Amino acid sequence: MSEQEEASSAVDLDRRAFLVKLASIFGAVGVAGVAWPFVRALFPSAVARAAGKPVKLNVSDLKFGEQRTVIWRGRPVWVIRRTPNVIQSLLKPNGHLSDPNSKIPQQPAYARNATRSIRPDILVLVAACTHLGCVPTYRPDPNTLEPDWPGGFFCSCHGSKFDLAGRVYKGMPAPTNLEVPPYHFADAQTLVVGANPETV
């Protein structure tokens, strides 16, 4: 082989090595680009993590009968202050309710009582009908939905009715009481939705 041919062959080998390197770099970048969405899906985003966090609400100025809504895990949760009269009516036996003693675990153990709550006056409920998930309306005033209506919640999608503890009436499309989420009071005025009391 002449000197010129040898030089030309060396240049070809260098070029081939360079092209192989370049191809492997592009290959690695391409694989990373394809894999990144899958890798990212394995780890919850900061927004998703924040959405699962407990939500605080100051209930010190919540008036009797007032309803407020907080969003927890992307779902609306009602916070309602009930009057002493409503609390008294909830304590009486009611044969029209499907699960008056909350035997079906639609609430934490600490809310399995006649008012389905920690504090009798403060009701905390997930705002989703247990039939197909529509948002019921809060109808606290007696006789406004029908004669003898004692006040409660009404789901207009298919007509389910609930009392002011979220207990479903017999014969309704909704199979169970409305859900009580985990919650506690951090102090006398601060409700924390989404976390159980520390003593539970």
Gap between the Cα atoms of 53 and 185, Å rounded: 15
Q: Provide, rounded to whole angstroms, the least separation between the CB of residue 133 and ligand FES.
A: 6
The residues that bridge with 133 in the sheet, in sequence order, are none
DSSP codes joined into one string, 146-195: STT--SEEEETTTTEEE-TTSPBBTT-S--SPPPPPPEEEEETTEEEETS
Q: Which is nearer to ligand FES, 81 or 131 (CB)?
A: 131
The CB-of-138 to ligand FES minimum distance in angstroms stands at: 14
Between 44 and 171, CB nearer to ligand FES: 171
Sheet containing 152-155, strands listed edge to edge, beginning at the edge strand earlier in sequence: 137-139, 152-155, 160-162
Q: What is the dihedral of CA 37, 43, 44, 49, to 10 degrees?
A: -150
How far from chain centre, in Å, is Cα 75? Answer: 4
Give min distance, CB of 149 to ligand FES, in A.
16
The residue among 85 and 156 lying less far from ligand FES, judged by its C-beta, is 156
**CB of 176: closest distance to ligand FES in angstroms?**
12
Residue ranges that bind ligand FES, judged by CB under 6 A: 129, 131-132, 134, 155, 157-160, 173-174
Nearer to ligand FES (CB atom), residue 116 or residue 131? 131
